[in-house]
Amino acid sequence: MNADSPWNSLARMNASERWRQPSAAMGRAMTDVIVADAQVEAGMRVLDVASGSGEPAISIAALLRGTGRVVATDISPGPLKIGEQRARERDLNNIEFVAADVQQLPFPDDSFDRVTCRLGVMFFPDLPRALGEMHRVLKPGGRVSLLAWGAINQPYFDSTLGTILRLLPELKLPESGLRMFKFAEAGALSAALRHAGFPISGETVRDVPWNWPGTPEDLWAWFRAVTVPFQPLLQAVPEERQSVVDAQVIAALRRRYNGHEVCFSASIVLASAGIAVSG
């Protein structure tokens, strides 16, 4: 990815800013899970990879209460600008935002006590190299925490993507979309960590709340604007069928709407690994 990437498009940035608060609320439970797993302590240096608009980096910086240092990285600079704004709004002075490729991190060996990545590891083009870089920059005794999507067969994706595919069975999920679920198979992510040189690794599958605090209409508009991996499918919907697709997806989302939130439970994979202390 680069500055011209869909992840960095003006339309996506505008949508991310417009729905910043409901999007953050929707992802709060996932953020809480990875922050707890990272086991950060005062004074630690933490690297957050594929940080996008700033989570879990911002939450970790707040947890450190002005101590240590959090470095939030992403290959696309656009989302990082939103993260910088969010950090300023919270008066956080122990966090910085750096545009960087996880496959070639611009940091010395043994630089960080913790490395985190929430919903980004699925998209690394060269996974062994990326994980190898995380291993390189971690200090002995350090810990990496990675969070990825579980199986595609869950209500959030069934209500959105599933509705489209049932209405238009001639369409298919694009490779970019299928990649989101590459670690759904049990043990796949922890195995990748072991192959990258982490001697201690494990993973769990969890269900967490994934609730949109707003209307089904706004959730669908946000989904269409920001979910880059599924853009080829969304753009393949014939113009003359778009209104029918919109109506059916919103109807599916409305079945999960309680008048305040569109409520889902998300299946996620959490993998952790450590580097042994030498000697």
- What angle do helix axes 242-254 and 216-226 make, rounded to 10 degrees? 120
Q: What does the pLDDT look like over 60-97, one tens digit per residue?
A: 999 999 999 999 999 999 889 999 999 999 999 999 99
* Among 70, 149, 145, CA closest to 111: 70
Going through the chain in order, the beta strands assigned E by DSSP cover 45-48, 69-74, 95-99, 112-118, 138-149, 200-209, 265-274
Q: Poorest-confidence range of 8-17, 186-195, 260-269? A: 8-17
Do 215 and 239 fall into the same domain? yes
Do 173 and 105 fall into the same domain? no
- Give the pTM: 0.92
Do 115 and 171 fall into the same domain? no
Q: What does the pLDDT look like over 112-167, one tens digit per residue?
A: 999 999 999 999 999 999 999 999 999 999 999 999 999 999 999 999 999 999 99
Q: What does the pLDDT look like over 193-252, one tens digit per residue?
A: 999 999 878 999 999 999 999 999 999 999 999 898 999 999 999 999 999 999 999 999
Give the DSSP letter string of 141-170: EEEEEEEEE--S-SHHHIIIIIHHHHH-TT
Q: What are phi and psi of 113, to 5 degrees?
A: -85, -30
Do 129 and 60 fall into the same domain? yes
Q: Quote the tokens at residue 140.
A: 């002995």
R_g (Cα) of the chain, nearest Å: 19
Do 3 and 104 fall into the same domain? yes
The count of structural domains within the chain is 2
The pLDDT value recorded for residue 9 is 53
Do 116 and 40 fall into the same domain? yes
Counting beta carbons within 10 angstroms of the beta carbon of residue 83, is it exposed (0 to 12), middle (13 to 18) or buried (19 or more)?
buried
CA 188, CA 131: separation in Å to the nearest integer? Answer: 13
CA 159, CA 69: separation in Å to the nearest integer? Answer: 40
Q: What does the pLDDT look like over 173-200, one tens digit per residue?
A: 999 999 999 999 999 999 999 999 998 7
Say yes or no to pLDDT of 16 above 50: yes
Which domain CATH number covers 39?
3.40.50.150
Do 56 and 132 fall into the same domain? yes
Q: Is the peptide bond before 56 cis (omega within 30 degrees of 0)?
A: yes
Q: What are phi and psi of 42, to 5 degrees?
A: -50, 135
Do 98 and 163 fall into the same domain? no
Q: What are phi and psi of 127, to 5 degrees?
A: -60, -50
The residue range of the domain holding 94 is 1-149+183-208+266-279
**Beta-bridge mates of residue 241:** none
Helix%, strand%, coil% for the chain, nearest 5: 45, 20, 35
Do 105 and 240 fall into the same domain? no
Band (pLDDT 50/70/90 cuts) for residue 19 is: confident
Counting beta carbons within 10 angstroms of the beta carbon of residue 144, is it exposed (0 to 12), middle (13 to 18) or buried (19 or more)?
buried
CA 49, CA 64: separation in Å to the nearest integer? Answer: 18
Instruction: Give how far Cα 80 sits from Cα of 183, 231, 232, 261, Å.
Output: 26, 21, 24, 28
Do 250 and 192 fall into the same domain? no
The pLDDT value recorded for residue 11 is 56
Do 161 and 90 fall into the same domain? no
Contact (CB, 8 A) for 12 and 4: no
Do 228 and 200 fall into the same domain? no
Contact (CB, 8 A) for 72 and 98: yes
> Parallel, antiparallel, or unpaired for β 95-99 and 138-149?
unpaired
